[in-house]
């Protein structure tokens, strides 16, 4: 079946995509992916009937997916909703405005403290916080706050979503336990040299043609770095994001293989 709608969530957010599918009375499966995470939302005649992410389904999964700020989406029309397990939305959801509003309000409150998930926090040294009770997940986050790991890295380490991790960090911050600190700047020997990006573009051009340069720029900016100050530690992540743009599995792995060779020699 031909795909009629695909792209990245940074270009079009999930609520906009869902509104489009609902208004067009579409039936099918909206596939969402971010790094190695995958989620699905099923629609029938313009109503959301089912959502799944990780081991969650129903409201929990839809809520989680709605919080994604980046990742890829792909709509597969006419996908069957048979054989699905977990919570179904009996009445179907056709109005997602309320969902978008709640999530957007939560995000904007989080953004006041965590403008991007690239921000780094450290344990407060000078203030004495009052007695605080922490839940297990909050303790896990706090144990990972070390003045070096970003919010995104902490989320990855403990296996929580960026949204949930950000929410916990906001609370820890408000309680006076942690505070934002400057991200450690990469030393000059930790920055990739000028030869890397031309090599990357050359390799990508073989698979993506003239779009290569635009994709490299877009993904570099997405990671909040510039070409002339790109840390070596983020190279694999950049390659991974870029290779997700190559839809053919065999070509994608070939690109990854050629770039792994380059990374090792840097």
Partner 1 sequence: MKDKLEEINSIAGVMDSVLVNKNGSIVSSQKSPYLTKGILESIGREVMQLDTTIKYTGEDIKGFDLLYDYGRVIVQKGNDFYLIVLCKSSVDTSLLRLTLNVVLKDLNEKKDPKGHFGIKMFNRT
- When binding is defined by CB under 8 A, the residue of 36, 90, 131, 182 that contacts partner 1 is 36
CB 14 within 8 A of CB 93: no
> Out of 127, 187, 249, 265, which residue is the one contacting partner 1 (CB under 8 A)?
249
Judged by CB under 8 A, does residue 157 bind partner 1?
yes
Greatest pairwise CA separation for the chain in angstroms: 61
The span from the CA of 243 to the CA of 238, in Å, is: 8
Q: Is 237 in the site for partner 1 (CB under 8 A)?
A: yes
Decide if residue 126 touches partner 1 (CB under 8 A).
no
Residue 257 binds partner 1 (CB under 8 A): yes
Instruction: Sort 215 into a burial class: Cβ within 10 Å, 0-12 / 13-18 / 19+.
Output: middle
Distances (CA, A) of 209 to 42, 244, 253, 260, 262: 34, 15, 17, 20, 20
41 φ/ψ sector (left φ>0, alpha ψ -120 to 50, else beta): beta
Residues contacting partner 1: total by CB under 8 A:
23
Q: Does 123 bind partner 1 (CB under 8 A)?
A: no
250 near partner 1, rule: CB under 8 A:
yes
Residues constituting the chain? 266
Is 256 a residue that touches partner 1 (CB under 8 A)?
Answer: yes
Interface with partner 1, residue 156, by CB under 8 A = yes
Is residue 263 part of the contact set for partner 1 (CB under 8 A)?
A: yes
Residue recorded with tokens 């983020």 = 234
Q: Which of residues 62-91 bind partner 1 (CB under 8 A)?
A: 83, 85
**Residue 77 phi/psi, 5° resolution?**
-70, 150
**Interface segment toward partner 1; rule CB under 8 A; list 20-28, 102-110, 150-158, 199-207:** 150-158
Q: Is 259 in the site for partner 1 (CB under 8 A)?
A: yes
Looking at residue 132, what DSSP letter applies?
A: -
The CB-of-211 to partner 1 minimum distance in angstroms stands at 21
Which listed range, 2-10, 40-48, 71-79, 248-256, lies at the site for partner 1 (CB under 8 A)?
Answer: 248-256
Tokens, residue 215: 């994709």
Which residue ranges make up the site for partner 1 (CB under 8 A)?
35-36, 83, 85, 156-159, 233, 236-237, 239-240, 243, 249-250, 252-253, 256-257, 259-260, 263
């Amino acid at each position: 079946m031909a795909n009629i709608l695909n792209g990245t969530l940074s270009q079009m957010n999930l609520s906009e995509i869902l509104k489009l599918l609902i208004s067009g009375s579409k039936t099918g499966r909206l596939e969402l992916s971010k790094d190695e995470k995958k989620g699905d939302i099923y629609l029938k005649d313009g109503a959301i009937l089912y959502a799944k992410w990780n081991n969650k389904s129903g409201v929990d999964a839809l809520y989680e997916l709605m919080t994604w700020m980046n990742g890829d989406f792909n709509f597969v029309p006419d996908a069957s909703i048979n054989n699905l397990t977990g919570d179904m939305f009996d009445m179907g959801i056709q109005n997602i405005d309320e969902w978008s509003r709640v999530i957007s309000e939560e995000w904007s409150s989080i953004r006041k403290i965590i403008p991007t998930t690239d921000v780094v926090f450290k344990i407060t040294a000078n203030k004495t916080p009052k007695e605080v009770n922490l839940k297990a997940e909050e303790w896990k986050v706090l144990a990972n706050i070390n003045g070096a790991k970003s919010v995104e890295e902490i989320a990855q380490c403990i296996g929580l979503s960026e949204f949930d991790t950000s929410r916990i960090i906001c609370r820890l911050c408000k309680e006076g336990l942690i505070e934002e600190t400057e991200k450690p700047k990469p030393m000059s020997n930790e920055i990739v040299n000028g030869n890397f990006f031309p090599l990357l573009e050359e390799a990508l051009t073989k698979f993506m043609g003239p779009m290569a340069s635009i994709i490299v720029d877009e993904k570099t900016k997405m990671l909040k770095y510039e070409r002339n100050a790109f840390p070596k530690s983020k190279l694999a992540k950049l390659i991974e994001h870029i290779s997700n743009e190559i839809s053919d599995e065999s070509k994608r792995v070939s690109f990854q293989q050629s770039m792994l060779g380059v990374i090792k020699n840097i």
